[in-house]
Amino acid sequence: MCPASGCATNLTTTAVAVVISHGKNGFSAYNANTNTQNTLATSTDELENSDADRDAVLRTQSTVAGSVFDDIVVWVPKFNLNNRMVAAGRLP
């Protein structure tokens, strides 16, 4: 999880899951009905969130041309997952 594409700085290295919504503009998302990709993003940060690697960008939303970003990104830290699994009786 990074604050910008390229991931020179990590916000976390312990995420066990990342959930990304491609926001209102839907750039680079896949249409669930047609399985086709929407218009590609022009922002490198939005492109990073659609390139199927382990890096994801979480930053402030922006409508500035060239750095548009409206993706909604959340992650599940390892501690939270372990805590919930213990509470559910799935881990010792």
User: Tens digit of pLDDT per residue, the chain (92 long)?
Assistant: 898 888 888 999 889 999 999 999 999 999 999 999 999 999 999 999 999 898 999 999 999 988 999 999 999 999 999 999 999 999 98
Number of domains, the chain: 1
Rg for the chain, CA atoms, rounded: 15
Question: So what's the pLDDT on residue 13?
Answer: 87
Tokens of 66: 């060239």
| 8 Å CB contact between 49 and 64 | no
Within a domain: 6: no
Within a domain: 28: yes
Q: What separation, in Å, do the N-terminal and C-terminal C-alpha atoms of the chain show?
A: 29
Within a domain: 8: no
Within a domain: 9: no
Question: So what's the pLDDT on residue 40?
Answer: 94
DSSP symbol at 73: E
Within a domain: 1: no
**Measured between alpha carbons, how far is 1 from 17 in angstroms, rounded to an integer?**
10
Domain of residue 41: give its range.
15-87
Output the pTM of the full model: 0.83
Question: So what's the pLDDT on residue 5?
Answer: 86
Question: So what's the pLDDT on residue 64?
Answer: 93
The pair phi, psi for residue 76, each rounded to 5°, is -110, 110
Within a domain: 62: yes
